[in-house]
């Protein structure tokens, strides 16, 4: 994902908060993804206006993380997983 991409959630995906995280569900394919608190935070920020670099900065601030490289790697993997599932 390039820093200029602005990922946006698919409108068909069902989001449900659970006691420990959240659940994403695609009713068309039956695909499911379970989110932890970080995943919930990222999902909430996939508005089509926020690019990767802004997401990295928001994650670092929200979770008090200093390792930019690790955040970028983890974010890219998460977004790649969401793309493969067609959730974004």
Cα(44)–Cα(49) distance, integer angstroms: 12
Predicted TM-score (pTM) of the model is 0.90
Domain chopping of the chain, boundaries: 14-84
pLDDT tier at 5 (50, 70, 90 boundaries)? confident
pLDDT computed for residue 3 by the predictor: 47
Q: Are 4 and 82 contacting, i.e. CB atoms less than 8 angstroms apart?
A: no
| CATH H-level superfamily of 14-84 | Coenzyme PQQ synthesis protein D (PqqD) (1.10.10.1150)
pLDDT computed for residue 19 by the predictor: 84
pLDDT tier at 25 (50, 70, 90 boundaries)? very high
Cα(52)–Cα(72) distance, integer angstroms: 8
């Amino acid at each position: 994902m390039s820093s200029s991409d602005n990922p946006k959630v698919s409108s068909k995906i069902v989001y449900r908060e659970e006691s420990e995280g959240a659940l994403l569900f695609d009713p068309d394919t039956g695909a499911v993804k379970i989110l932890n608190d970080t995943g919930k935070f990222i999902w909430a920020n996939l508005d089509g206006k926020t690019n990767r670099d802004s997401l990295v900065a928001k994650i670092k601030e929200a979770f008090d993380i200093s390792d930019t490289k690790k955040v970028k790697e983890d974010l890219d993997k998460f977004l790649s997983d969401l793309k493969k599932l067609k959730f974004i």
